[in-house]
Amino acid sequence: MKIALLTNARSPNPGNWALTTGTINLLEKYFGENTEFHVIPWDDITFRDSIFDDSFFSQVNGCDLFWVVGAVTFNGRAEHTRGGCRLNLSNEDLDRIKVPIVLGGVSYRHWPNQQYHNSEKLYRLLEYLTARKDCLLGMRNDDTVLWLKETIGFQSNKLVKFPDPGFFALSENTEYEKTNSGIIVSMNNEDDSSRFQDQFVMEDFAKTIAFLSTVFWEKYNEIVTFAPHSFEDYQLFEKVFREVPKRRLHQDTNVMPILSGERNLHFYREYAKSRLVIASRVHSMSPALGMGIPTIVLSSQSRISHYIMELGFEDYLFDLREVDSRRGELEKLMTETLSDPSAVMGKLRKIKHHQEREVLEFLDNVTKVI
């Protein structure tokens, strides 16, 4: 089988590598290692003009299946005048796709105070796809299904949940070991004015991370590694660095580089070496959870909170706007988890088993449309 993958193939954001790699891992495991993938760089199309040209349709129709890799798809950009989202296709465009279509865990990034441009076009796109018999619409297992209903008024039982593919990026070949050292910190600074709402929330976040890092240094005397997913994240890291002891900053702090392509394998292998991950990005938390790494989640958006609650991992979830007032709880949870990770690791094994079952059920349904 030859599968056309529409994915952010050239993005330096490691989360996009995790999505692509996780998707390929799942499909190869299900359909066999001889499955052939034709990768279409979605980010090239988005940054060019968001228009899918003739070569796109030729590539897709030269395969047996068109798979849209789970990514931020519904973002309300004004230029998406055909499909109302990054899958910027009119009904006429979709008629040109002659092979089955699968959306593999798509999601949104949109804020309550923003206008969603071209919402009627997105409604038409979803209406077309749900009516098409050779199509399966997998929304990421966050609140995307609910968000579509509340934002554009679209609902259908044809919209089904699909586990975030980033969960499976390295889960097959990496295991947490007690010999691991250090912690990983991921801080999300994209859309900062909407994410933080005011400067005080951002400052409290940075000070809380500095506090937790200092607690870790004093207990373990090991490295704290900051893991950026976008260039904006470095600006937030700098706020943390103002608050930490100078010796620790210069001797016990690492900052990972932003890379691209297969070099992101190294990025996530650094996660696998750590005792704990503190995450505020989906693709910091989901690959870590898939690898069985103890993780504390600081959520800045409902889709993150819903994702963690869908997994049944809410005991390790904190609202980013409450981190300052709940600093004592965070410290207690971090130190207890570091001292004895067995409880969280047992929980993560159960979560992984459940996620694998949900993927299998989804892929069984894929075979019914191809």
Backbone φ, ψ for residue 183 (5° rounding): -130, 155
301-320: pLDDT as tens digits: 999 999 999 999 999 999 99
232-273: pLDDT as tens digits: 999 999 999 999 999 999 999 999 999 888 888 889 989 989
Q: Which amino acid is at 181?
A: S
195-234: pLDDT as tens digits: 998 889 999 999 999 999 999 999 999 999 999 999 999 9
Domains in the chain with CATH codes: 2-166+353-366 (3.40.50), 183-339 (3.40.50.2000)
Distance of CA 198 to the CA centre of its chain: 25
pLDDT at 26 (0 to 100): 97
pLDDT at 71 (0 to 100): 86
**More confident position, 99 or 193:** 99
DSSP H or E stretch at residue 31 = helix 14-31
Read off the pLDDT of each residue in 33-37 and give the average, rounded to a whole number: 95
Number of Cβ within 10 Å of residue 190's Cβ equals 17
4-20: pLDDT as tens digits: 999 999 999 999 999 99
Can you tell me the distance from the alpha carbon of 61 to that of 365, in angstroms, rounded to the nearest whole number? Answer: 21
- Contact between 96 and 62 under an 8 Å Cβ cutoff? The reply is no
DSSP conformation letters of 50-111: S---HHHHHHHHTSSEEEEESSEEE---TT-TTTSSSS---HHHHHT--S-EEEEEEEE---
71-130: pLDDT as tens digits: 899 999 999 999 999 999 999 999 999 999 999 999 999 998 899 999 999 999 999 999
283-297: pLDDT as tens digits: 999 999 999 999 999
- Contact between 1 and 31 under an 8 Å Cβ cutoff? The reply is yes
Q: Are strands 183-185 and 224-226 parallel, antiparallel or unpaired?
A: parallel
pLDDT at 265 (0 to 100): 87
Can you tell me the distance from the alpha carbon of 14 to that of 24, in angstroms, rounded to the nearest whole number? Answer: 15
Does position 176 have pLDDT exceeding 60, yes or no? no
Can you tell me the distance from the alpha carbon of 225 to that of 201, in angstroms, rounded to the nearest whole number? Answer: 22
Percent of the chain with pLDDT over 90: 91
45-80: pLDDT as tens digits: 999 999 999 999 999 999 999 999 988 999 999 999
Can you tell me the distance from the alpha carbon of 25 to that of 17, in angstroms, rounded to the nearest whole number? Answer: 12
- What is residue 183's three-state secondary structure? strand
